[in-house]
């Protein structure tokens, strides 16, 4: 119970921290007049496809995933369900920004980004927990785990400790070092107004967005990785302590979203149409991959699913 409360407080704190640190008035009304640009026909078609077809499709699929996971009580699937709730919530704010504000709402875009980063973190935790509980058995077995053929003999109770913990003591600080990369990347703000088949629309990459993605998220990731290292040097029966797994997932979620946006902006810095098209497309592929995995192993992963029982699959 205390651990869940601590996680909830971390989620709330991480969510409001950028607002506290920012001088941007997130609750202000709209943006100033933006310089106009024209889009080619195929660019207008790409934006319309992303916003009117791809986005509603994967949002519907995300909702189906949430429903399909109702009734599942295992920690990995519960985390995956909450990850989808965070994802769908973030994408709902993105849709509000897209359909209502034509991309002019700073608050909606921030909540979209935060929902995505949180969804990444929860999904990564679900993957780590699922791999351990269902395949590796590092923490779920008191004897040998699936890594025994590599280790040669179980080192869980040896003086030096489990090999997995020794590796984690090196790898987690490396992740903290990797978080420096986006911190050194320059900010690339841009904003302009277009019309898409006669409808006004804004492409906006404000300083606040860039600062959040290239400064705040990597900073939070670095702090998470450094903190995650501490339990690895404390006496604990589990090779990978629970808090290490939680904090590493939080760090990877923040850093993963930072790298995701950094890569898109680096490739499409001068054409935000394709930035948005490929963001929507990769999010569709993300949801599609989860559905394929869950469907392929539905007999074991979705055995308690309320939705699967209703459709008798």
- Residue 63 β-bridge partners: none
Q: Which residues of 283-300 are buried (b: 16+ CB within 10 A; e: fewer)?
A: bbebbeebbeebeeeeee
* CA 88/CA 85 separation, integer angstroms: 5
Dihedral through CA 65, CA 67, CA 70, CA 74, nearest 10? 0
* CA 185/CA 182 separation, integer angstroms: 5
Kindly give the interhelix angle for 2-21 and 106-131, rounded to the nearest 10 degrees. 150
Confidence tier at 2 by pLDDT (50, 70, 90)? low
Residue 117 has pLDDT above 60, yes or no: yes
* CA 94/CA 109 separation, integer angstroms: 6
* CA 242/CA 264 separation, integer angstroms: 33
Which among 5, 12, 88, 97 has a CA at the least distance from the CA of 51? Answer: 97
List pLDDT tens digits, range 225-279. Answer: 999 999 999 887 788 899 999 999 999 999 999 999 999 999 998 899 999 999 9
Residue 89 has pLDDT above 90, yes or no: yes
> Under 8 Å CB-to-CB from 126, ≥6 apart: which residues?
76, 77, 79, 80, 83
* CA 176/CA 154 separation, integer angstroms: 29
How far is C-alpha 208 from the geometric centre of its chain's CA atoms?
Answer: 19
Within 10 angstroms of residue 241's Cβ, the number of other Cβ atoms is 19
Report the chain's terminal Cα–Cα distance, integer Å.
34
* CA 170/CA 275 separation, integer angstroms: 35
Whether residue 204 contacts residue 104, with contact meaning beta carbons closer than 8 Å, is answered with yes
> Would you state the structure tokens that stand for residue 303, as one six-digit string?
């055995």
Please report the pLDDT score of residue 305 as a whole number.
74
List pLDDT tens digits, range 43-88. Answer: 999 999 999 999 999 999 999 999 999 988 899 999 999 999 999 9
> In the chain, which ranges are E strands?
190-196, 199-205
Residue 22 has pLDDT above 90, yes or no: no
Residue entry with tokens 């320059």: 186
List pLDDT tens digits, range 118-128. Answer: 999 999 999 99
User: In angstroms, what CA-CA distances link 75 with 80, 108, 132, 146, 240?
Assistant: 9, 30, 11, 20, 16
Please report the pLDDT score of residue 5 as a whole number.
77
Question: How confident is the prediction for the chain on average, in pLDDT?
Answer: 87
């Amino acid at each position: 119970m205390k651990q869940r409360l601590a996680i909830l407080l971390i989620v709330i704190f991480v969510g409001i921290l950028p607002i506290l640190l920012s001088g941007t008035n997130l609750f202000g009304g709209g943006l100033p007049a933006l310089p106009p640009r024209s889009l080619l026909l195929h660019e207008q078609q790409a934006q319309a496809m992303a916003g009117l077809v791809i986005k509603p499709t994967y949002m519907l699929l995300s909702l189906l995933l949430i429903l399909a996971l109702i009734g599942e009580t295992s920690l990995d699937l519960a985390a995956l369900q909450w990850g989808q709730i965070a994802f769908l919530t973030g994408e709902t704010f993105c849709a509000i920004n897209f359909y209502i504000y034509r991309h002019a709402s700073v608050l909606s875009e921030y909540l979209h980004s935060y929902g995505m980063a949180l969804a990444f973190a929860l999904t990564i935790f679900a993957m780590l927990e699922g791999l351990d509980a269902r395949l590796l058995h590092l923490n779920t077995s008191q004897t040998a785990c699936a890594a025994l053929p590599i280790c040669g003999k179980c080192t869980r109770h040896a003086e030096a400790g489990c090999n997995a913990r020794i590796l984690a003591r090196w790898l987690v600080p490396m992740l903290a070092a990797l978080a420096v990369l986006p911190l050194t990347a320059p900010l690339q703000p841009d904003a302009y107004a277009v019309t898409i088949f006669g409808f006004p629309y804004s492409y906006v990459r404000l300083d606040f967005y860039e600062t959040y993605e290239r400064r705040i998220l990597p900073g939070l990731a670095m702090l998470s990785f450094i903190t995650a290292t501490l339990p690895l040097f404390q006496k604990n029966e589990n090779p990978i302590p629970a808090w290490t797994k939680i904090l590493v997932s939080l760090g990877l979620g923040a850093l993963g979203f930072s790298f995701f946006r950094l890569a898109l902006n680096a490739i499409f810095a001068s054409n935000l149409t394709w930035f948005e098209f490929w963001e929507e497309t990769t999010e569709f592929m993300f949801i599609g991959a989860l559905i394929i995995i869950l469907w392929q192993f539905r007999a074991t992963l979705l055995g308690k699913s309320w939705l699967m029982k209703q459709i008798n699959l």
